[in-house]
Structure 1
Amino acid sequence: MNDQASHTLEFDQLRALVRRGAQTSMGCARVDALVPLDALEELQKALAASAECVQLRKRGATWSFSELREPAEAIARLRVEGASLEPLTILELAQLCEQAMSARAAIMAEREESPVLAEIVASLPRELNSITARVANKILPGGDLDDRASPELARIRHEIARLRSSITRSLENLMRRSEEAVQDDLVTIRNDRFVIPVKADHRGHIKGVAHGFSSSGATAFVEPLETIDANNELQSLRETEEREIYRILFALTEELRLQLAGIEKAADAIAKLDFINSKAVFHQNFNCVIPEVSMAGQSFVRDSSVSSNPFKRTTSQTEVSSTRVLEFLEARHPLLEENLRASGGAVV
């Protein structure tokens, strides 16, 4: 279709109507790339997919692709050997796999009535379910690692909690013994180390390392000598924790990397299904009819048709001659219907 025809038909605005039904950026991209089809087999397959999706929606067999980010960047990084993914990126890929496999389950349960849709998801590997479960057991929704992500991480965090409590108790006891020198009865943290607020003119009363002053200069934040060794140990434990977190994330990344081909299939399946579903939503919103297209001699014949995408609608038979000229009978432009709805006019 040339630019003049596209402008005359207001095709961009038509695509915008269909885009409303897309749930992902991948689906939106496919809608934006939508053009009329002129290959019979491709057209029949696209219409069959739309028809199957419409029927599945009527039977309540739907799928949802909620809060999915564009996976291209994460997949590209996954292709880099030795690269480790951040926890939120791992969660995003796991969510992609989970929603793709959920759609697969819904469609395969109806595969006899939905062969075209089944073809899209049939090759998704079941291993995606396993990796999704492993990620969910190790990474919390906010991106932090669960204490049970590994026995070593659980041990390290237990030690950190024990040591933090011990340091806090020691500092609280010290503040009670040195009330006249303490500005506030509050243990705080400076430079990742536990300190107490000491009056600047009483610094000599508490031996230790100063980690800065308040904005007024009236308070010095002092790490007492008696907790320096414990603070050093705490710092060492935190570094050990970071190394263990990196090890776990790298291992999960490697598991995802082993399933790279399946993840790419999952992303492609979601893009296709979201695109098809957006057309089914359009079908529902505008009470469309899925056309049946077949070869009759050198002609295409459409019964009860809309256009291939489907943007046009008619209740009468339309024929396409060997010169492929379309004639739509009793058709209505969806944009006109949309404008009528917006203005409160009657759609007849």
Structure 2
Amino acid sequence: MTELIEKSKRVLEFNKIISMLKDNIVSDLAKDLADKEDISKDIREINLRLDETTEAVNLIIKKSNPPLFGIMDIKPYMKRLEMGGSLGPEELLNISDFLRVSRYLKSYFSIDPKDPSYKLLPYKAENLSSYKNIEDSINDAIISPEEISDNASPRLYSIRQQIGRKKDAIRDKLNYIISSEETKKYIQDSLVTIREGRYVVPVKLESKSKLKGLIHDRSSSGQTVYIEPMAVVNLNNELKNLYSDELEEINRILRELSQMVAEESYAIAANQNILAELDFIFAKAKLSLELNCNRPLVNEKRYINLKKARHPLLKAENIVPIDIHIGDDFTSLIITGPNTGGKTVSIKTLGLLVLMTQYGLHIPALENSEIGIFDKVLADIGDEQSIEQSLSTFSSHMLNIVEILKYADSKSLVIFDELGAGTDPTEGAALANAIMDYMRVNNIISLATTHYNQLKIYALTTENVANASMEFNVDTLSPTYKLLIGVPGKSNAFEISKRLGLSEEIISKARELISKENIEFEEVLKSIEEERTLIEENKLISERERKNFEEKSKKLEDEIAKTKAKREKILESSREEAKQMLLNARENIKLIMDEIKSLKTELNSDQARRLQDVNDILRDNISDALKPSEKIVIKKASDPIMDLKIGDSVRSPSLNAEGTIIDIDKNGKDVLVQIGMIKMKLPKNSLERSTRDEDKEKEKSKRIMNSKSKYIKTEVDIRGKTFDEAKPIIEKYLDDAYLAGLKQVRLIHGKGTGALREKVKAYLKKNPNIKSAKDAAYNEGGSGVSIVEFK
């Protein structure tokens, strides 16, 4: 049975989908996982897989593709460490990449824990272990698989300094020898070279006895011998010993780094399965986006309802989407129609989308499409003729069908292409009819394509069986690739032949040769097709009119909403203006009344009484002018300031005005605010911070940056300084240059012994604002100057 199921997957082209999926996978580990993943029959497992894919799609849309790199099989490394071994530079760099992707993925999944859209994948990422200290230790010590950093240890740095000095001493000695008047005549070329790891000079063959030393090599022509002069033998020996010390120290550093990894080997190795799984899940999400897929609804009722479904292996622009359903009103579907009309593509689309869903993939159909779960998907599609067995096409198909009938049950989905074809039409139709009836009786969900009229009649007259056809346009003699369920297909042979030029006489003769029942059946189908076409046209007209009506209604609603909004805006503006006018008037009247009050002490009783009458009339008029509906209500601010002081800039939301604090009451609840020319006493909790202070800070920051960019130089000279002395100068200069917006600067550190240069370059690699750092051109300082380019 396994072979039959795998064969069905192959003819449905599921293997090609897995190949497309693997193209989106980064690591070999996840590709192996894709091959091992099987079609699930458990609805909970299927829903979990689909939900993981959905989360990954949403994360890619929200945050772009996740950082997936350096995912590899590190278990052999861990096994070697457990056995007491150590790792080489390349293997340690692989461990560093592996740890870095683990750390980056944890950061990638740092989303709001209350967001219900993400609950599966962040949980997986939480279980990733990250060790930045191990990462940094490896990266600081190892530059590349072939190079260990000078700064890996103080001893290594010291040894390499000694090596550099020793090399200089040897070169100086040899340069003196080859340039000396006494020995220059024996030298073949005025250069120093290396043979067998030792510094030598090239000497003419006939003069080899003239220069005391050890012969290490001879040129291919035999005319030159390479001699190590006795004067540098001891120096070369010392250099060789230093190289041995260097190698010993490098091995010690690698053992130390390997021990750091070994101490966390179990947790690091546990990351491997999680990373592979995340790579696999995100590949499913990438495929979903690539094919414009959606998550289907899943059910255990064996009900399939695909809406606007497309075959995922065909170009979307060349496909007419199909609507197809089965498993509810009927369990068997018989599809008829012309060759190349899309029958086979339709049944393969349905079978393939079922397999994709049960694997955990989204499908190219509308998001409310439904897929039933099946224990087995069995298909007989295409010409599986076997030359070795000398089987005919019919025999080959029948062998497949026999196997399918042996294993198919009520939990299976069975697909037949051109059922009963390849043999005598009468017998083939009878066999096809019997096979489909077996499917119906045993309640097996099945689809079959055919050309036999007998099966069309069977579907019309049998319960739980339905007809479907691929639409064909007789006028253009071409298929429309549209699937019509409930309508049997008409052969159209006579109409097509007539339009292609076959004479009416021959067509009439052909009509006489077929049975009366067939003629009547074809006429019924023709009538059904004409009525269906008319209904379809009316439906399109109605749909078009409905859409026009909805569009006009929507436009009208939008216009009404805009008018209401505009009116409210005008009213609000008028209310604010009136409020401000009343506020100003009330403040002016208050000043007048205070003035009247002060004048009363200077008047006689009669004048004071008359002035009081005027004051009372004025107060009554003010009270009438400010009706309750128009009085200004000072409300509590949404974000009140708690620590006000005199001189602070504040804003009153109730008055929609800004001002400055000029006094604060002893009770601490009220403050006196200067708003323009008006002074007002307002509750403290009705005020919020003014935005003017923030604007001032922004302007100040802008002035600082402009000032920096005006005076910052494009280079800094640190020659003659140790790295510890130069580091604060470099840090400040790079910060200022970056803030000033400079794209490129020069660090002049000189060549010297190379110690300062190497430390500066190592420091620049770690600066997050630096895009690249490289040596200057030869005529601009060469290796004595680093050109720094900012991001």
TM-score range relative to shorter protein: 0.7 to 0.9
The answer as to whether partners of 1:108 and 1:122 remain within 8 angstroms in 2 is no
The answer as to whether partners of 1:293 and 1:300 remain within 8 angstroms in 2 is no
Letter in 2 for 1:123: N
3-state secondary structure, aligned to 1:115: coil
* Deviation digits for residues 189-246 of structure 1 (CA, Å, limit 9, x no counterpart): 1110111111111112210100011111111111110101111110101001101000
2:370 to 317, 332, 340: 317
Letter in 1 for 2:268: I
Q: 1:198 — aligned with what? A: 203
Distance in 2 between residues matched to 1:138 and 1:47, nearest whole Å: 44
1:186 to 172, 191, 214: 191
Pick which of 67-76 and 246-255 moved more. 67-76
Q: Sequence identity of aligned pairs in percent?
A: 25
3-state secondary structure, aligned to 1:307: helix
The answer as to whether partners of 1:85 and 1:249 remain within 8 angstroms in 2 is yes
3-state secondary structure, aligned to 2:201: strand
For structure 2, the 5+ residue unaligned runs are 307-352, 376-409, 414-444, 448-480, 483-791
Change (3 A) 1:255 1:302: farther
1:164 aligns with 2:167: yes
Q: 2:51 — aligned with what? A: 48
Q: What is the CA-CA distance between 1:265 and the residue it aligns to?
A: 2.3
Q: 1:245 — aligned with what? A: 250
Q: 1:340 — aligned with what? A: none
Distance in 2 between residues matched to 1:273 and 1:59, nearest whole Å: 17
The answer as to whether partners of 1:209 and 1:225 remain within 8 angstroms in 2 is yes
Pick which of 142-151 and 31-40 moved more. 31-40
Letter in 1 for 2:270: K
Q: 1:344 — aligned with what? A: none
Counterparts of residues 54-93 of structure 1 (less than 5 Å): 54-66=57-69, 68-80=71-83, 82-93=84-95
The answer as to whether partners of 1:156 and 1:237 remain within 8 angstroms in 2 is yes
1:121 aligns with 2:174: no
* Deviation digits for residues 289-323 of structure 1 (CA, Å, limit 9, x no counterpart): 113446xxx64778878613316444333344895
Q: 2:42 — aligned with what? A: 39
The answer as to whether partners of 1:27 and 1:274 remain within 8 angstroms in 2 is yes
Q: What is the CA-CA distance between 1:69 and the residue it aligns to?
A: 4.7
Distance in 1 between residues matched to 2:212 and 2:446, nearest whole Å: 92
TM-score relative to the length of structure 1:
0.86
2:288 to 283, 286, 306: 283
Distance in 2 between residues matched to 1:227 and 1:152, nearest whole Å: 25
The answer as to whether partners of 1:152 and 1:244 remain within 8 angstroms in 2 is yes
Q: 2:26 — aligned with what? A: 23
Q: What is the CA-CA distance between 1:110 and the residue it aligns to?
A: 5.2
Change (3 A) 1:210 1:77: same
The answer as to whether partners of 2:291 and 2:364 remain within 8 angstroms in 1 is no
Letter in 1 for 2:235: A
Distance in 1 between residues matched to 2:226 and 2:373, nearest whole Å: 84
1:96 aligns with 2:98: yes
The answer as to whether partners of 2:53 and 2:362 remain within 8 angstroms in 1 is no
* Deviation digits for residues 8-28 of structure 1 (CA, Å, limit 9, x no counterpart): 222221110111111111121
Letter in 1 for 2:225: A
Change (3 A) 1:31 1:92: same
The answer as to whether partners of 1:14 and 1:311 remain within 8 angstroms in 2 is no
Distance in 2 between residues matched to 1:131 and 1:328, nearest whole Å: 59
Q: What is the CA-CA distance between 1:107 and the residue it aligns to?
A: 1.2
The number of aligned residues is 326
Distance in 2 between residues matched to 1:328 and 1:183, nearest whole Å: 91
Letter in 2 for 1:238: Y
Change (3 A) 1:55 1:186: same
* Deviation digits for residues 222-273 of structure 1 (CA, Å, limit 9, x no counterpart): 1110101111110101001101000000111111111112221222222111
3-state secondary structure, aligned to 1:37: coil
The answer as to whether partners of 1:207 and 1:224 remain within 8 angstroms in 2 is yes
3-state secondary structure, aligned to 1:124: coil
Letter in 1 for 2:209: G
Counterparts of residues 260-275 of structure 1 (less than 5 Å): 260-275=265-280
TM-score relative to the length of structure 2:
0.39
Distance in 1 between residues matched to 2:243 and 2:265, nearest whole Å: 32
Q: 2:232 — aligned with what? A: 227
Letter in 2 for 1:101: R
* Deviation digits for residues 114-148 of structure 1 (CA, Å, limit 9, x no counterpart): 2211222212223x222111111110034411000
3-state secondary structure, aligned to 1:140: strand
1:212 to 189, 213, 217: 217
Q: What is the CA-CA distance between 1:67 and the residue it aligns to?
A: 5.6
Distance in 2 between residues matched to 1:101 and 1:303, nearest whole Å: 43
Distance in 2 between residues matched to 1:328 and 1:161, nearest whole Å: 81
3-state secondary structure, aligned to 2:129: coil
Tell me the C-alpha RMSD between the 2 structures: 2.6
Q: 1:332 — aligned with what? A: none
Distance in 1 between residues matched to 2:374 and 2:357, nearest whole Å: 16
For structure 1, the 5+ residue unaligned runs are 330-346
Q: 1:307 — aligned with what? A: 357
* Deviation digits for residues 154-187 of structure 1 (CA, Å, limit 9, x no counterpart): 0000000110011011000011111101111111
The answer as to whether partners of 2:25 and 2:31 remain within 8 angstroms in 1 is yes
Q: What is the CA-CA distance between 1:75 and the residue it aligns to?
A: 3.5
The answer as to whether partners of 1:197 and 1:220 remain within 8 angstroms in 2 is yes
Distance in 1 between residues matched to 2:127 and 2:157, nearest whole Å: 38
Distance in 2 between residues matched to 1:121 and 1:108, nearest whole Å: 9
Letter in 1 for 2:87: L
Letter in 1 for 2:361: P
Q: What is the CA-CA distance between 1:63 and the residue it aligns to?
A: 1.6
Distance in 1 between residues matched to 2:24 and 2:246, nearest whole Å: 45
The answer as to whether partners of 2:70 and 2:98 remain within 8 angstroms in 1 is no
Change (3 A) 1:110 1:292: farther
Q: Select the structure of larger CA radius of gyration.
A: 2
The answer as to whether partners of 2:188 and 2:204 remain within 8 angstroms in 1 is yes
The answer as to whether partners of 1:291 and 1:302 remain within 8 angstroms in 2 is no
Q: What is the CA-CA distance between 1:101 and the residue it aligns to?
A: 1.4
Change (3 A) 1:14 1:275: same
Counterparts of residues 290-301 of structure 1 (less than 5 Å): 290-293=295-298, 299=301
1:147 aligns with 2:150: yes
Letter in 1 for 2:122: A
Q: 2:433 — aligned with what? A: none
Change (3 A) 1:233 1:120: same
Change (3 A) 1:292 1:150: farther
Change (3 A) 1:105 1:34: same
